[in-house]
Amino acid sequence: MKKLCLLVALFMSVAGLGWAGEDYPLGPDSQRQPGVPEGKVTQYTWTSKIFPGTVRDYWVYVPAQYTPNKPACVMVFEDGKGFVNPDGRERIPIVFDNLIAKHDMPVTMAILIDPGVLNGAAPGSEQPAEPKFRI
């Protein structure tokens, strides 16, 4: 019985590796659709005052349907650079544009932020050294 359990566990592990590499096709909400208004993505850089020398890039997505006189939802994503890539797997601005246009989700802004890069000060100077590690 132990050998059978071990054999089944081994089979499931190996089978899982094969399935993990499977590439799933993107659905229609991940593709630009004709007539769907496109929101705007702007990129910024932020230097932390709490963690001195830590610099982060971040992006803000504002849907075309946003008007300042009406409240909007906000969604925050970590590892932002990968999520704003129009050719990537997630394509958040494209998906948001499509879902908002279909009224499948409310008008929602997105803040997509990358992890910080800590620039240590070079010995004897106030100039930051090259990044040593990511936070």
The domain spans of the chain are 32-120
pLDDT tens digits, one per residue of 5-16:
454 555 555 445
2 band by pLDDT with thresholds 50, 70 and 90: low
127 band by pLDDT with thresholds 50, 70 and 90: low
**pLDDT at position 123:** 54
pTM of the model: 0.70
DSSP string, the chain: -HHHHHHHHHHHHHHHHHHHTPPPPP-GGGS--TTPPP-EEEEEEEE-TTTTTEEEEEEEEE-TT--TTS--EEEEEESHHHHH-TTSS--HHHHHHHHHHTTSS--EEEEEEPPPEE-PBPTTSSSB-S--EE-
95 band by pLDDT with thresholds 50, 70 and 90: very high
